[in-house]
Amino acid sequence: MSSILNFLDVYNISFYASFLGIIIMISIKVYEIRSGKKSIISKVSDNTNHIVHNFFNATKKFISYFNRKTALALLQWIAYHILSWVRKTYIRLRNMAHMHPPSKKVLDMVRGKGDINKNGGSSIYLKMISENREDIVNKKQVL
């Protein structure tokens, strides 16, 4: 019983159905060739072939027209809305930060505005680099 169930899964059933359809199509074509008469399937196919062909061409043309003409415009529209939302959010957050003096100081420092304190909290190594740089700049000005 279990050996029969091994052959009854979805993949095997679809294979057997496809194989049976192929055999039926080949036998119908052999009958048409031997008798010289067209089958019902061939008559229907001859009468509807141009309709299917025209529908396929129209669909293909519509898709290619849509892709060619509007894909760039669609992407630009999406980018515009995303970037405008990001800009509005940035402006809102910046305005909220400017309401509080400590965060306004931080924003000004990030933007390069505000007072510079040479005795700030930088490390000894960074202070030495800045002093050496000032010496190099002063030497170049003297020359």
Give yes or no for residue 142 having a pLDDT over 60: no
pTM of full prediction above 0.85 = no
Which whole number is the average pLDDT over 107-132? 64
Pairwise pLDDT comparison (99 vs 4), residue with the higher score: 99
What confidence tens digit (pLDDT) does each residue in 31-84 have?
999 998 988 888 888 899 999 999 999 988 877 777 666 778 878 888 999 999
Residue spans of the domains in the chain: they are 38-142
Query: According to the model, what pLDDT value does residue 126 have?
Result: 64
> What is the secondary structure of the chain as a DSSP string?
-HHHHHT-SHHHHHHHHHHHHHHHHHHHHHHHHHH-PPPHHHHHHHHHHHHHHHHHHHHHHHHHHHHHHHHHHHHHHHHHHHHHHHHHHHHHHHHHHHTSHHHHHHHHHHHT-S---TTSS--HHHHHHHHHHHHHHHHHHH-
